[in-house]
Every structure is written in structure tokens, then in C-alpha cells.
Amino acid sequence: MRDVEDPSEPAVGVHALPSPYLLFLGDVTEPGFAKTALGLRDWAGDRCIGEHALPAATVSTGLPRLTPAEAAARGARAMVIGVANQGGVIPPAWVPELLAAIEAGMDLVAGMHRRLRDLAPLREAAARAGVRLHDLRVPPADLPVATGRKRSGRRLLTVGTDCALGKKYTALAIARGLGARGVDATFRASGQTGIMIAGRGIAIDAVVADFAAGAAELLSPDAAPDHLDVIEGQGSLFHPAYAAVSLALLHGSQPDRFVVCHEPGRSHILGVPGYAVPPIEAVIEQTVAAGRLTNPDIRCAGISLNTGRLDAAAAAQVIAETEARLGLPAADPIRGGDAFDRLLDACQG
């Protein structure tokens, strides 16, 4: 048991999150809804000790499958809810597993809209065990209304044809790739998984609508003229549920460049079968039209393709075809190679 001031209150800063983590996958069956767990595995793997899931779950990170007690015995200090489901809910079926983690002496970490501390069984169990409940979707107090003032420094935003298809991975890869070239670039997290990876950021989709663009302005403040903020995008301007957060992030970020993220072969908006995924060309046109409100010089730097479901030959073909069709650099940042170097050139320029 650890000495804490008030285990029922959320963590003040994600930089203080205890690790290693046990990643909780709940009962998820769609990989897109497990993006938190998969993102932590890929970008903070040294802090992940294993995974835990209900029997109904069909998605896996590939990490050792452990019970909370087994994970705690191996040194895990927190169980992270690795699911980003629609509405950010915590189903009743998860609660016994969350309680088991608390009873094993681990903190709980979540980026859900439903806060851990609002569930009495968890709050009371945490108080008894002396562990903490960390709710990351808690925006800073006293957020300002956006001003639209032009800020110093340079900015790049990742946008998408849909949600959960690689905007975070793309922003992380671009920031890392440019950093390796000696560019002064910073990844700016706008979602719960990115915050867990970066150690700071603002969960834009948890901000009251009137202040969302203002929060995006705070996310990428004035900087040196040659500094580049690479901002993690959210949702899609074409998503019937999440377009509002995408628009607020676009206006508040004032990006000079944007990269469109797309998954070849995805036919409909995730979780909304009645809506088709828009063509990349439509996303470029819509992003430029909306983005000009706060940055008249906005333009598309290139395309990021999530080819994880394709073999190497098919991936190379779709990357080449996309680049030829649009006249813009296209690449899968995870595959890297010459195509990604060309995308980095466009982002750097």
C-alpha cells in the first residue's frame, strides 16, 4: 500500500503515472477501439508488462496475458484501461476486473469520459487500498475562449478520413523522424493515449465546446520561428459524431501544414455503417476551406497511409498509386523507407 493524499481524486499530471502498466482490454472485439492499449504497446512498450481482458475480448496486444494479481507480482503498478469505446463508457462487466486490480495494489488509469472516481465501488475500494484513480480526460481549469491570434512558430496537424486510423501514430512518427534530422519538433498530444505517451497534453474531446479551440491554442503556444509543433489530430471533419472536435482543433491549431491519414480498404466510418469513408481529395478540400479561417496559408503536406492490413507488395503499390494520383508525397510512417523520407521533406519545408 502506498501513502497517498486522496486516492479518490484524479492525478494532477500524467507525468506522475506509476508504471509498469498492465493493459486492460475489457471485452473489445474491434482493434480500432483498442487504440489506447495498442498505442502504449507501440510507443511506450518499455512501460507495459502485460495485458488483461475479459473472455469475450478478441483483440490482443501480444503481451503476456496476466491476471491483476500476477501482474502486480511481476511489478506492475497500474492497470490502464486500454479501450477507447464509443462514448467513453465503463460497462458494469468491467468493474469486477477493475476492483481486482485495486485489490492487487495497483492504481487505475483511464481516459474515458466516465470518470473512475464517479463510480462509488471503485472510489471506496481505492480509499481502502491506498491506491489512486487517474482520470486523464479532465481538462485544465479556466480554459480561455479562442482568440484566433496568429502565434509564432510553425505547426503541423494530422487529420483523417475517419477516426482511429493513425493520426496519433503519424504525428509521433513525424515528430520523431524530424527530430532525428535535427529539427526542433515537439509532439503535442490532444487525446488520452497521446497524453500517456507524451506526459502532457489536453484531451480536446473532453473540453466544453465553447473552449475547445482555445484549448487547442494553449496546446501549441508561441514558439521560436524554426520550432515545429506536430499536433495529434482527433476524429474527422466527415464523422457525424466527432466532426465538431476536429473543427475546433483545426481552428485552434492554426496549422501551416496538415497530413491526411487514411486506411486503404476501410469502406465506412468506424461505428457508423451508414456513412462511407470520404475520398482523400474531399478531406484535403474541406480541411483547406475550414482551416483558412485562422491560417490563410494552410496547405496539405502529404498523405499517411495505414497499410497494416496489407502485405509489403500491396502496401508499396497503394502508396505509389496514391502519390501519383494526388501529386503529394504518400507513405506509411510505420513502414518508413524512401516514401516516408519524402513525406518528412514536405513536413519540414
Higher pLDDT, 198 or 174: 174
Instruction: Provide mean pLDDT across the span 327-341.
Output: 98
Q: Is the pLDDT of residue 267 over 50?
A: yes
Kindly report the length of the chain.
349
More confident residue, 338 or 270: 338
Intrachain domains 14-135 and 154-348 with the same fold: yes
Query: Which architecture, in CATH terms, is 154-348?
Result: 3-Layer(aba) Sandwich (3.40)
Residue with cell 507524451: 198
Average of per-residue pLDDT across 248-254: 97
Residue 105: φ, ψ to 5°: 95, 15
Given a cut of 50, whether residue 212 has pLDDT beyond it is yes
> Which residues make beta-bridge pairs with 262?
305
Q: Which parts of the chain are beta strand (E)?
A: 21-24, 48-52, 78-81, 107-110, 133-135, 154-160, 185-188, 228-231, 257-262, 268-269, 272-276, 299-305, 330-331
- First and final CA of the chain: distance in angstroms? 52
What dihedral do alpha carbons 188, 337, 264, 186 form, nearest 10°?
0
Query: Has residue 24 got a pLDDT over 90?
Result: yes
Averaged pLDDT of the chain: 93
Instruction: Using the predicted structure, report yes or no on whether residue 114 has a pLDDT greater than 60.
Output: yes
Calpha distance 252→133 (Å, rounded): 30
pLDDT, tens digit, 9 for 90 and up, residues 173-188: 999 999 999 999 999 9
Average pLDDT for 320-327: 98
What does the pLDDT average to over 328-341? 98
Domain boundaries, the chain: 14-135, 154-348
Determine the pLDDT at residue 198: 86
Q: Which residues contact 207 (CB under 8 A, 6 or more apart)?
A: 139, 143, 215, 248
| Topology (CATH) of 14-135 | Rossmann fold (3.40.50)
Task: Quote the pTM value.
Answer: 0.84
Percent of the chain topping pLDDT 70: 95
